[in-house]
Amino acid sequence: MLPTSAEYWISKLQLNAHPEGGYYKRTYQGEEKITDQELSVQFDGHRWLYTSIYFLLRSQDISHFHRLKSDELWYYHAGSPLTVHVIHEDGSYEEVKLGTNLENNETLQYLVPKNSIFGSSVLEPDTFSLVGCMVAPGFDFQDFELFTQEQLLAQYPEHHEVIKKIAYEKIPDGVL
């Protein structure tokens, strides 16, 4: 039987607080690096070919709306289902549930396309969700952009309800 406490996983996996919310630890990075000259993505310098993390979100936490310049592939590992909220580049909204109940439209993995704005939440109270995330080209905080409610509501007023729930009202000092 898998442990049922977030604190167990945070301790055993040595997870740290993440600026977007939740807890994480980088587990892998590719041995090779790449520049934006080989890709359609624009960034400064070199990036690892890929990076991978554990990411844990408790029900009282929110992974706030943010954007990456790279694709991010999410893998469900343990705990309660996790809802990934995505505002795609075309402005459409998608809600995806990561989990093991395939009959309830949950999925074991999901690709968040580059340049999408996304965040996540755990719906069940007093629980957590543990996932893995692989980013290619690899994650770098230079390519990480957090959003406020005001910024997103100006551009996507039709998604008012989810923006109020998932975006920071004001990005706290020292987060990035």
DSSP 32-50: -EEEGGGSS---SSEEES-
- The model's pLDDT over 140-155, given as tens digits with 9 standing for 90+, comes to 888 899 999 999 999 9
DSSP 48-91: ES-EEEEEEEETT-EEEEEEESSEEEEEEEEES-EEEEEE-TTS
- The model's pLDDT over 11-34, given as tens digits with 9 standing for 90+, comes to 999 999 988 889 999 999 888 777
Give the domains, in start order, of the chain with CATH numbers: 47-166 (2.60.120.10)
Sign of CA dihedral 31, 36, 39, 42: positive
Q: Cα–Cα distance between 54 and 148 in angstroms, integer?
A: 25
- Residue 168: helix, strand or coil by DSSP? strand
- Residue 38 vs residues 21, 29, 41, 67, 96: alpha-carbon distances, Å: 32, 19, 9, 21, 31
- The model's pLDDT over 89-139, given as tens digits with 9 standing for 90+, comes to 999 999 999 999 999 999 999 999 999 999 999 989 999 999 999 998 888
Q: Is the pTM of this model over 0.85?
A: yes
- Neighbouring C-alpha atoms within 13 Å toward the C-beta of 133: 26
- The model's pLDDT over 56-88, given as tens digits with 9 standing for 90+, comes to 999 999 999 999 999 999 999 999 999 999 999
